[in-house]
Amino acid sequence: MIRRFQALPLRSRLALLTATAVAVAVAAVAVTCWLLARTQLHNELDTSLRNTSAPLGTVAAAWDACRTDGSAPPSGRTFAYVQIVDSEGNRCVAADSQPVKVQQDDLAVARGVDFYALHSSTTDDGAEVRVHTSRMPVPGFRGELTVSVSRPLYEIDASLNRLALLLTALAGVGVVAAGAAGLWVARTGLKPVDRLTDAVEHVARTEDLTVRIPAEGDDEIARLSRSFNQMTAALASSRDRQAQLIADAGHELRTPLTSLRTNIELLARSEQTGRALPPDDRVALLASVKAQMTELAALIGDLQELSRPDSATPGPVQVVALHDIARTALERARLRGPELTITSELRPWYVRAEPAALERALVNVLDNAVKFSPPGGTVEVVLDRGVLTVRDHGPGVAPEELPHVFERFWRSPSARALPGSGLGLSIVARTVQQAGGEVELRPAEGGGTVAVIGLPGAPAPPPPSVVADERVDQA
């Protein structure tokens, strides 16, 4: 049963649940109304019996008939049944009354134990009645007689039956109306969901990420619509960036591959024709091939680095000494620019990052400074309270070019003749952001460029217990 219900469409389930809830509520209200009406009618009947006294003439006639021939013959139904009861349980039934069975409560009144009795009983024919028994004086009789006045319950039962039919009919109409209202509410309430479903199916079918759903209000459907719009916008942006990366990578790979193919074809033609190249030309050609292969390897490595998700890291994050990594990067930079003067002032600073990625980022920044420094120039490196500055005395970057320096494959017009892929600063920005820091490139006073990298951390390493806990959490 549950599986069949779950197999129904959401709209049908909502309508069915609404109809069921209303049916239960209507049934509870109908039963409560019927019970309250029944109690009220019985209370009114009891009040009427308490306030009703049997006519003295009727009681006297019943007493005279009982003394002469033992009973008065009943004839039809009346508004109330009257009979006299003695202490032995004998009855004297008034004319036009039905004989009612005597109960112990009636005997208690006849024997003087109680002043009155109010209870339910039945006639000799089995009809239910409500009985009120009390004592009353009768002319011609010394003392008081015990008189029972009874009212039949068929009138109340008939009213209750009519009320039950009316409530049943109203409940049925209410359930049907509730089902129709539930279906209307389900259709109206699920229209935004239908639009969202159509949009998702359209995206899945056509891969069109420009679809947007109108989001009005602050309810759950509006929040879901806005989340869908944000998701499609993010996917479209990611796809555009991916296409741009592929196009830029193809463009950057084409130049070294073309040059490499040309040089290899020259070497191959020299071997095929038997015409040896001059030794100097051959050495220069091999050196060019080697440089182009190195450039290709660096470009492929940069592309692999940028192809990783932004949330991923190439290795485990740990507490590292930024000053030690900067010192290692400085040694590599001095090898690439031996004619330059590279000064450094490194104060201790510890950060949480991936060591290899952070070292590569610092090497890229220093390589950039070495590349643009004039022969015999100076590169100044300072690390103070988590802020690493690298200043060169090169031509600098034009103000209009600064917003683009961290874009992938972007190279300034003055740098396009120099080796490089335009990915170095993109990798720097990515690595620094993953470590929770910020990077900036700005013009330096007096000429040149200053690269500023700020990383959160501390001047002293954390206690060994904290480091051990971090390693356990990462494991």
Reported as a single tens digit per residue, the pLDDT across 149-159 is: 998 888 788 88
pLDDT at 216: 73
User: What is the rounded CA–CA span in Å between residue 29 and residue 167?
Assistant: 9
pLDDT (average), residues 85-92: 86
> How much is the pLDDT for 83?
87
Show the tokens assigned to 55: 């006519």
Question: Would 148 be classed as within a structural domain?
Answer: no
248 versus 149: the higher-pLDDT residue is: 149
* Whether residue 364 is found in the same domain as residue 279: no
- Verify that 233 and 322 share a domain, yes or no: no
Which range marks the domain in which residue 234 is found? 220-307
Supply 445's token pair.
């006073």
Whether the predicted model's global pTM rises above the 0.85 cut: no
Report the pLDDT value the prediction gives residue 345, as an integer from 0 to 100.
Answer: 92
The three state secondary structure string of the chain is: CHHHHHHCCHHHHHHHHHHHHHHHHHHHHHHHHHHHHHHHHHHHHHHHHHCCCCCHHHHHHHHHHHHHCCCCCCCCCCCCEEEEECCCCCEEECCCCCCECCCHHHHHHHCCCCCEEEEEEEECCCCEEEEEEEEEECCCCCCEEEEEEEEECHHHHHHHHHHHHHHHHHHHHHHHHHHHHHHHHHHHHCHHHHHHHHHHHHHHHHCCCCCCCCCCCCCHHHHHHHHHHHHHHHHHHHHHHHHHHHHHHHHHHHHHHHHHHHHHHHHHHHHHHCCCCCHHHHHHHHHHHHHHHHHHHHHHHHHHHHHCCCCCCCCCCEEEEHHHHHHHHHHHHHHHCCCCEEEEEECCCEEEECHHHHHHHHHHHHHHHHHHCCCCCEEEEEEECCEEEEECCCCCCCHHHHHHCCCCCCCCHHHCCCCCCCCHHHHHHHHHHHCCCEEEEEECCCCCEEEEEECCCECCCCCHHHHHHHHHHHC
pLDDT for residue 55 = 79
Does residue 36 lie within any of the structural domains? no
- Lowest average pLDDT, out of 244-248, 258-262, 321-325, goes to 244-248
Q: What is the pLDDT of residue 321?
A: 92
Q: Is residue 253 part of a domain?
A: yes
Answer whether residue 310 shows pLDDT above 60.
no
Residue 309 has pLDDT above 70, yes or no: no
Whether 336 and 401 map to the same domain: the answer is yes
Residue 348 confidence (pLDDT) above 90: yes
Q: Tell whether 345 and 451 lie within a shared domain.
A: yes
State the average pLDDT over residues 133-152.
82
The Cα–Cα gap between 366 and 340 comes to 12
Q: Is the pLDDT of residue 70 over 70?
A: no
* 155 found inside a domain: no
Q: What pLDDT score does 25 carry? A: 86
Q: 113 and 7 in contact (C-beta within 8 Å)?
A: no
What is the average per-residue pLDDT within 14-29? Answer: 81
In a domain, 361, yes or no: yes
The CATH number linked to 277 is: 1.10.287.130
pLDDT band at 76 (very low <50, low <70, confident <90, very high): very low
**pLDDT, average across residues 445-474:** 74
Q: What is the pLDDT of residue 382?
A: 94
Single out the residue in 261, 288, 307 at which a domain terminates.
307
Q: Which residues, 6+ apart, have CB-to-CB distance to 113 below 8 Å? A: none
Query: Can you tell me the distance from the alpha carbon of 187 to that of 180, in angstroms, rounded to the nearest whole number?
Result: 11
Q: How many domains does the chain have?
A: 2
Angle at 359 between CA 458 and CA 452, to 5 degrees: 65
In this structure, the answer to whether residues 303 and 336 fall within a common structural domain is: no
Of 265, 285, 307, which residue sits at a domain end?
307
Q: Which of 169-183, 244-258, 420-434, 449-463 has the lowest mean pLDDT?
A: 244-258
Residue 308 is predicted with a pLDDT of: 62
pLDDT of residue 351: 93
pLDDT at 77: 46
Residue 54 within a domain: no
Q: Which residues have a Cβ under 8 Å from the Cβ of 414 and sit 6 or more positions away?
A: 395
Ranking 196-205, 229-238, 310-319, 414-423 by mean pLDDT, the lowest is 414-423
Query: Would you say residue 242 has pLDDT above 50?
Result: yes
Question: What mean pLDDT is predicted for residues 262-285?
Answer: 80
% of the chain exceeding 70 in pLDDT: 82
Claim to verify: residue 267 and residue 375 sit in the same structural domain:
no
**Does residue 215 sit within a domain?**
no
- Based on the fold, state whether residues 396 and 369 are members of the same structural domain: yes
Within a domain: 355: yes
Kindly state whether residues 384 and 470 are assigned to the same domain.
Answer: yes
Whether residue 439 sits in one domain with residue 391:
yes
Residues 355 and 410 in one domain: yes
465 and 361 within one domain: yes
State whether 347 and 448 are in the same domain: yes
The 10s digit of each residue's pLDDT in 377-434 is 899 999 999 999 999 988 888 777 777 777 766 555 555 445 555 667 777 888 888 8
Find the CATH number of the domain harbouring 335: 3.30.565.10
Can you give the pLDDT at residue 349?
93
| Residue in 120, 160, 216 with CA at minimum distance from that of residue 33 | 160
Last residue of a domain, one of 280, 307, 334: 307
